[in-house]
């Protein structure tokens, strides 16, 4: 072990053997900033009230000639009662497998036997410190979540007055306080994570962790380790114990974004955990009960994936008790002005710019754009325009729309100006088809045509 840099961890060792305490303190002080020792377990409550320890090493027997471990269990329970997030390693000279299993089930992190090998003791402490840091991460996430809940309402970042968004808000109101699993469907950039956060913020779990995970960034080789955790030594690179994302989010909300990217074998592993509501970390025999609200999202067509065998139907049943469809920005053009003004204020403040208004021409230009990147694209467009603007009013030239998009919009405008009925009808059909994602029934209905009439027009114009 490298002694050149001490770990900033704080250790407390409680044992009635004074010689042992002196020896272990001398050894561990070479590796850790603070190592405190105590022979009297009765002082544990006051020590914990006045100090914060990353690891507590606790002897299981303080009475001479007693080897039952009952005293250790008693003080373990006291410690966890004072600090439920405490990381406790139990030590005893009389341990066996049954005692170790009982200690871990009682809440201990690990178990070491006296006399110990110094290197093994050090490895156990370092591994337990990783767990302590993970617990502190959970605590920090909860505190940030609580602060966020106090400073913002559930809908602060969700802007919209269009009918389609009002329907989304109404669905959120109905499902948020339940524990139903939610599947959010929508194109990239439509705000699926914001919807997930809004559900969490209005749920009964809003004081707990909201933990988002991009499933598209997790490879099959590390899937189980990332989601379910692993025990040190479970595989070649498992240098220490690791808490998985499911356990980190326990009692809170886990948001699995882009779940459509999971391979079928990964889906099978996920299904087992969802069915059993418990998991076993890789290489461990410790069973973790789960109490997690699951929200998933994808931009893929899940039904088509089920038909072609790339997504399991039984997994879909587990994750979509309720489905929420987020409309693309092109279907809520009435919200563009609201969103644009919101982003304008946000970036004017961020960059300390005088831009406080969008010109009428700018708004018209924004409403004409097709927004393939949805709200994310609009946000980036407004950010750039604020940066580039030299006055208090943002003009169309402050935006940087792609040449191809501008050309398409200009061509459509020129054709419409000619008022040739066939040209107008061709353009309208193309626009309505695009708006309805190629759905013939919806497109025909929107144009007031029967499906057969709509098909005849598609054939007429070669569409």
The residues, any chain, with a CB within 8 Å of residue 163's CB and separated by 6 or more, are none
- The pair of three-digit structure tokens given for residue 347, joined into one six-digit string: 């970036």
Average confidence (pLDDT) per 10 residues, the chain, 463 residues: 69 91 92 92 92 90 66 88 87 68 79 83 83 68 58 58 92 94 95 94 91 91 90 79 88 95 95 93 86 95 93 95 94 91 93 90 90 92 92 88 51 51 79 77 81 79 74
- Domain presence at residue 142: no
Report whether 344 contacts 386 (CB < 8 A).
yes
Check: CB of residue 268 under 8 Å from CB of residue 229: no
pLDDT value of residue 167: 93
pLDDT given for residue 296 in this prediction: 97
396 domain-assigned: yes
CATH number assigned to the domain comprising residue 393: 1.10.8.60
428 and 384 both lie in a single domain = no
β-pairing verdict for 182-185 and 293-298: parallel
DSSP, res 282: B
- DSSP string computed for 129-173: HHHHHHHHHHHHHHHHHHHHHHHS-TTTT----SHHHHHHHHHHH
Measured at the CA of 294, the angle between CA 244 and CA 130, to 5 degrees, comes to 15
- Tell me which H or E stretch contains 310: none
Considering the domain architecture, whether residues 377 and 332 belong to the same structural domain is answered as yes
pLDDT recorded at residue 403: 47
User: Does residue 177 share a domain with residue 275?
Assistant: yes
Query: What's the pLDDT at 438?
Result: 74
321: left (phi over 0), alpha (psi -120 to 50) or beta: alpha
- Respond yes or no on whether the N-terminal peptide bond of residue 128 is cis (omega within 30° of 0): no
Give the Cα-Cα-Cα angle 188, 225, 137 (nearest 5 degrees).
Answer: 80
Q: Are residues 260 and 350 in the same domain?
A: no
Residue 305 shares a structural domain with residue 184: yes
Structural domain ending residue among the three candidates 292, 307, 325: 325
Domain end, chosen from 309, 325, 341, is at 325
**1 part of a folded domain:** no
Q: CB of 237 within 8 A of CB of 289?
A: no
The CATH number of residue 232's host domain is 3.40.50.300
Distance of CA 28 to the CA centre of its chain: 37
And the tokens for 400? 């940087």
Domain total in the chain: 4
- List % helix, strand, coil for the chain (3-state, nearest 5): 50, 15, 35
Statement to judge: residues 123 and 196 lie in one domain: no
The model's pTM is 0.63
Residue 334 and residue 200 in one domain: no
Same domain, 287 and 381: no
Q: What's 354-394 look like in SS3? A: CCCEECHHHHHHHHHCCCCCHHHHHHHHHHHHHHHCCCCEE
**CATH code of 455's domain:** 1.10.10.60
Q: Are residues 167 and 300 in the same domain?
A: yes
Tell whether 17 and 123 lie within a shared domain: yes
The answer to whether residue 375 sits within a structural domain is yes
CATH of the domain at 50: 3.40.50.2300
> Would you tell me how many other CB atoms lie within 10 Å of the CB of residue 82?
13
If asked whether residues 280 and 314 sit together in one domain, one would say: yes
Cβ atoms of residues 199 and 152 within 8 Å = no
* Residue 332 structural domain: 328-401
In a domain, residue 144? The reply is: no
Sign of CA dihedral 228, 233, 238, 239: positive
Rounded to the nearest angstrom, the gap between the alpha carbon of residue 226 and the centroid of all alpha carbons in its chain is: 12
Q: Are residues 191 and 335 in the same domain?
A: no
Domain boundary among 299, 325, 351: 325
432 Cβ contact partners less than 8 Å away, ≥ 6 residues apart: 443, 446, 447
Q: Are 427 and 412 in contact (CB under 8 A)?
A: yes
Q: What's the rounded Cα separation, in Å, for the pair 238 and 234?
A: 6
The per-residue pLDDT for 304 is 92
């Amino acid at each position: 072990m490298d002694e050149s840099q001490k770990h900033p961890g704080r250790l407390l060792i409680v044992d009635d053997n004074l010689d042992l305490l002196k020896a272990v303190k001398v050894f561990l002080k070479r590796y850790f900033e603070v190592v405190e020792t105590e022979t009297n377990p009765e002082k544990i409550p006051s020590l914990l009230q006045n100090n914060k320890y990353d690891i507590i090493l606790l002897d299981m027997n303080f009475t001479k000639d007693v080897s039952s471990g009952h005293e250790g269990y008693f003080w373990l329970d006291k410690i966890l009662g004072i600090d439920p997030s405490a990381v406790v390693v139990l030590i005893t000279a009389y341990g066996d497998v049954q005692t170790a299993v009982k200690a871990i089930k009682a809440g201990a992190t690990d178990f070491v036997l006296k006399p110990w090998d110094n290197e093994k003791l050090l490895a156990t402490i370092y591994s337990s410190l990783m767990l302590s840091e993970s617990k502190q991460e959970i605590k920090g996430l909860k505190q940030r979540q609580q602060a966020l809940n106090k400073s913002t309402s559930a809908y602060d970042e969700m802007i919209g007055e269009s009918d389609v968004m009002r329907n989304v808000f109404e669905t959120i109101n109905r499902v948020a306080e339940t524990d139903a699993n939610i599947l959010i469907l929508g194109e990239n950039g439509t705000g699926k994570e914001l919807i997930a956060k809004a559900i969490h913020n209005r749920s009964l779990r809003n004081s707990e962790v909201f933990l988002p995970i991009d499933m598209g960034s997790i490879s099959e080789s590390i899937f189980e380790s990332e989601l379910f955790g692993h025990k040190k030594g479970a595989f070649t690179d498992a240098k220490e114990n690791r808490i998985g994302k499911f356990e980190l989010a326990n009692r809170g909300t886990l948001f699995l974004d882009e779940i459509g990217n999971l391979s079928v074998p990964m889906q099978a592993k996920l299904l087992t955990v969802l069915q059993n509501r418990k998991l076993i970390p890789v290489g461990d025999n410790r069973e973790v009960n789960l109490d997690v609200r699951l929200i998933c999202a994808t931009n893929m067509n899940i039904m088509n994936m089920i038909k072609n065998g790339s997504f399991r139907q039984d997994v879909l049943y587990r994750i979509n008790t309720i489905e929420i469809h987020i409309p693309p920005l092109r279907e809520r053009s009435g919200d563009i002005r609201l969103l644009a003004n919101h982003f304008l204020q946000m970036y004017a403040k961020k960059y300390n710019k005088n831009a406080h208004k969008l010109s009428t021409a700018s708004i018209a230009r924004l409403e004409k754009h097709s927004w393939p990147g949805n709200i994310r694209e609009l946000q980036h467009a407004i950010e750039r325009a604020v940066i580039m603007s030299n006055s208090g009013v943002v003009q169309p030239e402050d935006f940087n729309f792609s040449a191809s998009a501008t050309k398409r919009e200009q061509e459509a405008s020129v054709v419409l100006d000619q008022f040739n009925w066939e040209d107008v009808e061709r353009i309208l059909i193309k626009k309505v088809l695009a708006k309805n994602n190629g759905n013939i029934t919806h497109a025909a209905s929107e144009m007031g045509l029967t499906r057969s009439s709509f098909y005849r027009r598609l054939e007429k114009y070669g569409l």
